[in-house]
Amino acid sequence: MNLLGSLFSSSIGRKFLMAATGLVLFGFVTGHLLGNLQIFLPPQKINAYGHMLESLGAGLWLIRLFLLACVLIHIWLAIQLTLENRAARPQDYGVAHINRATLASRLMARTSIVVLAFILFHLAHYTVRAGHPLWSEHTFTLADGYTKVRDIHAMMVEGFSNVAVSVFYIIAVGLLSYHLAHGIGSMLQTLGLKNEKWTRGLERFAVAYCWGYFLLNAAIPLAVLGGFVKLHA
């Protein structure tokens, strides 16, 4: 209990906890992207993948709740650390002062809140299917010829056919990528994995990953809007 309390009460503990939750969420967004990219394959693939996840039953909701808890803790810590940093330098020099921190680092708390709003919208849109009751009736027959599952492929195509939804999605993943651009470096540094020998390589990895993450995510709604990915017959 004392260990848990120190994680939240001490500055070092909060930084470590933020890095740990960031690592969990980094793994999740990477896996989530890989799963979504199956939209470019035959509908059988992503629908079987969705069925595999839903077969976890209550376990899937436990995973979702754990990830949501990580997001909330991560955002709370980002806000706390931002306030601490501001309190540590309250003096006003009366001239424009260029901070060494990147713009991404100074906007971490704000982009975290936007990302949370996106996650909640994404859950309401595709998981709870709020506003789309007919999606619960969309079924797809797997290759065995008799197993009927939820038609994830059709849900994604219909969802991203809405221009407003696609634009919001692209903006949100753009902000998330921008957030990750700083977050990956900070996470590795806090966990002691960043040193003088690896710094440049890790920074290049972070930039490449974030650009790849953004472009691959953006490709999904753009492919739907462009007619490259369509409803199956």
pLDDT of res. 223: 97
Phi, psi of 73 (to 5 degrees): -65, -45
Please write the tens of the pLDDT for every residue from 110-151: 667 777 777 777 777 667 777 666 766 778 899 888 889 989
Instruction: Show contacts of 223-229: CB within 8 Å, 24+ apart.
Output: 223/39, 223/40, 224/156, 224/157, 224/160, 224/161, 224/166, 225/160, 225/161, 225/163, 225/166, 229/39, 229/40, 229/157
* Cα dihedral 103, 113, 159, 47 in deg (nearest 10): 100
Q: pLDDT digit of tens for each residue in the chain (233 aa)?
A: 555 556 666 777 788 888 888 889 899 999 999 999 999 999 999 999 999 998 998 998 899 899 889 988 888 887 777 777 667 665 544 444 444 444 555 566 666 777 777 777 777 766 777 766 676 677 889 988 888 998 989 989 988 999 998 998 999 899 889 888 888 877 877 777 666 777 788 888 888 999 999 999 999 999 999 999 998 76
Q: Using alpha carbons only, what angle is made at residue 67 by residues 216 and 15, rounded to the nearest 5 degrees?
A: 95
Distance CA 80, CA 12 (A): 12
pLDDT of res. 107: 63
Q: Which CATH class is domain 2-89+101-225?
A: mainly alpha
pLDDT of res. 197: 72
Residues 6+ apart with CB under 8 A from 1: none
pTM over 0.85: no
Domain boundaries, the chain: 2-89+101-225
pLDDT of res. 182: 80
Rounded to the nearest angstrom, the gap between the alpha carbon of residue 211 and the centroid of all alpha carbons in its chain is 14
pLDDT of res. 99: 47
pLDDT of res. 15: 80
